[in-house]
Amino acid sequence: MPLPSPLVRAVETLLDKSLVLGYSSIGWYIRQPWLPPSPEPGSLTGRTVIVTGASSGLGRASAAGAAQLGARVRLIGRTAARLEDAARAIRRSLPHADLVVDVCDVSDLDAVRAWCSTIEEPLHAIVHSAGIMPPERSESAQGHELALATHVLGPLLMNDLLRPRLREDGDARIVWISSGGMYAAPLTEGLVADPEYRHGEYNGTRAYARTKRLQVVMAQREARQLGGDGITVHAMHPGWADTPGVTASLPRFAAVAKPILRTAEQGADTAVWLTAAPEVGTGDFWQDRRPRSTDFLPWQHTSRELADVVWRYCRSAAGLDG
Ligand SMILES: NC(=O)c1ccc[n+]([C@@H]2O[C@H](COP(=O)([O-])OP(=O)(O)OC[C@H]3O[C@@H](n4cnc5c(N)ncnc54)[C@H](OP(=O)(O)O)[C@@H]3O)[C@@H](O)[C@H]2O)c1
């Protein structure tokens, strides 16, 4: 991918650091002239893409985007009826879309194991969009804090169990849909000492940001672990998109920012692009089809030692070795 000119780089830095400009639809439109090219229609024909959280918002838009590129898409969520609604909506504009609806609660490690054991076809990509912002501390079926289980442990287990299926593709991609909110939660000793958020007053927004940071750390580690299998791993952030999740979890923000929120398709664009674009490398954190810094401020740089500790904790909590 060619490097943008110094002027474009300066504008990009301004957009990234201002938050409002970069994350809203304003940034989306400003960036259009220098956005790397879109994959060819049909470029995923004959390949299968899994999208979690596909019944709503960015997951649904990612499923539609992958289907538009010709992929067979497996839509994952907790409720069959909501997934069927999403599949029907996608088929209204893509009548020949090859869509499969699969119920699986990704926070439940037993459910993830059971569902993964049914997958026998080669896989090209997994897009992890399933997301929540719990109002109070609650726990998954295995007793893990729910945001951690949903955003980190279930996806980690799914990636590991489906590794043989991804390896068969030869150019497979894993995309973690993280959040710009992760900038508010650097990987501190406090976070690493208490990933299950057992101590201190629980705050759902904070739990969300912490686990979105952990997704970025997991993506970096998996990139190193899976590279030898021809699997690249990416984290991305969608900016601020108008989705049912944002309206339900952040109603005041959604109401005030409504005129400048991105559409779900704009928010999902980079996730879909990462499933098909050539030369995307591995282990980066993306927004609007460009790698971005993982730290908002230079001195917040993630320590390798803390990343090692939390990687080991999450793998072990997901029931994986080391
Ligand atoms: N929208 C934004 O501006 C924004 C910004 C930054 C990051 N994100 C990230 O983008 C992702 C999607 O967010 P969204 O705004 O599209 O939210 P959304 O409209 O609420 O969609 C969330 C999806 O996740 C699914 N889900 C939740 N828990 C699940 C579980 N345990 N197992 C399987 N599926 C589960 C929901 O399906 P069911 O309830 O039907 O199971 C739903 O399809 C999230 O990871 C979020 O952190 C969004």
* Ligand 1 binding pocket includes 155 (Cβ within 6 Å): no
Domain boundaries, the chain: 45-317
Q: Which two tokens stand for residue 77?
A: 């969520």
What are the beta bridge partners of residue 73? 49, 99
What is the Cβ-side half-sphere exposure of residue 138, based on CA atoms within 13 angstroms?
A: 11
In the chain, which stretches have pLDDT less than 50? none
Check residue 47 and give its pLDDT.
98
Let me know if 23 is a catalytic residue: no
Q: Which two tokens stand for residue 129?
A: 């969009």
Report the candidate in 135, 129, 164 with the shortest Cα–Cα distance to residue 236: 129
Q: What does DSSP say about strands 290-292 and 285-287: parallel, antiparallel, or unpaired?
A: antiparallel
Cα 128 to ligand 1 centre (Å): 9
The third-level CATH classification (topology) of the domain covering 45-317 is Rossmann fold (3.40.50)
Q: Indicate if the alpha-carbon torsion angle 246, 250, 253, 256 is positive or negative.
A: positive
Check residue 1 and give its pLDDT.
64
Check residue 3 and give its pLDDT.
62
Check residue 279 and give its pLDDT.
86
Check residue 85 and give its pLDDT.
98
Name the one residue in this structure whose structure tokens are 């490398």.
Answer: 281
Check residue 19 and give its pLDDT.
87
The secondary structure of residue 37, as a DSSP letter, is: P
Whole-prediction pTM value?
Answer: 0.97
Cα 6 to ligand 1 centre (Å): 36
Q: Which residues of 67-87 are buried (b: 16+ CB within 10 A; e: fewer)?
A: bbbbbbbbbbbbeeebbeebb
* Ligand 1 binding pocket includes 179 (Cβ within 6 Å): yes
DSSP string, 260-320: GPBPHHHHHHHHHHHHH-S---SS-EEETTEEE-S-SSGGGPPPHHHHHHHHHHHHHHTT-
